[in-house]
Amino acid sequence: MTVPARGGAAAGQAPFRARQAGATFAGMGRSTRRRIVRLGPALAALLLAAPACFLFNRGNKAAPATAFDVPEGEIALSVTNHNYLDVVVYVLHDGLQTRVGTVTGSSSTLLFLRARLLGMGHELQLYGRAIGSDAFARTQTLIIQPGQYIEWTLETDLRRSSVGVF
């Protein structure tokens, strides 16, 4: 009874069989070189065609798309809540605190702020209070210009939250 060798070949056979009779490792590299030589013209055609895409598309520049479809006279506030608790969002402006909405735990929402919340100096602060906890997040004073939007990310520890105005 013959026991197969480790690679699945019988004990009397070599575990490696060449593709062709008399082929060696050095001879196998020749077919690879032939493939590379055949790819040369295809690569050259690709390198010549790629700049044409740039040259023929120069005059077709469309206006950049806005990040959000914001109604006239309002400011978009995108809130991403990584906290597991729901968070009530307020805007602090001109010494007042105005409730804007609620962001469910582990979700995102898009809120729209009326332009009157900006006040005379176009300044506001965002304040978020977790429901069922005394944790809160407060941003620094933000100066918002017309056409800008706000992205506020509330982290699991609300003190580590971040805000960006774009």
10 is a domain residue: no
| Cβ within 8 Å of residue 86, ≥6 positions away | 102, 103, 104, 105, 130, 131, 132
**pLDDT value, residue 44:** 80
- Give the pLDDT of the chain (166 residues) as one tens digit per residue: 555 555 555 555 655 555 555 555 555 555 666 666 677 787 788 777 777 766 666 655 665 555 667 778 899 999 999 999 999 999 999 899 999 999 999 999 999 999 888 878 899 999 999 999 999 999 999 999 988 999 999 999 999 999 999 9
Secondary structure of residue 104 in the 3-state scheme: coil
Are 88 and 160 found together in one domain? yes
124 and 51 within one domain: no
pLDDT value of position 76: 95
pLDDT on residue 54: 65
* 52, 93: one domain: no
Cα–Cα distance between 154 and 107 in angstroms, integer? 10
DSSP string, 29-88: HHHHHHHHHHHHHHHHHHHHHHHHHHHHTTT-PPPPPPSS-PPTTEEEEEEEE-SSS-EE
Q: What is the pLDDT of residue 139?
A: 97
User: Does residue 7 belong to any structural domain of this protein?
Assistant: no
Supply the range of the domain harboring residue 47. Answer: 23-57
Q: Exposure string (b/e) for 74-85, b if CB count within 10 Å is 16 or more? A: bbbbbbbbbbeb
- pLDDT value of residue 30: 59
Please check whether residues 108 and 134 belong to one and the same domain: yes
In a domain, 85, yes or no: yes
Answer yes or no: do 157 and 111 share one domain: yes
Largest pairwise CA distance in the chain: 96
Burial degree of 155 (CB within 10 A; 0-12, 13-18, 19+):
middle
Residue 124 lies in a domain: yes
Task: Say which CATH number the domain at 139 has.
Answer: 2.60.40
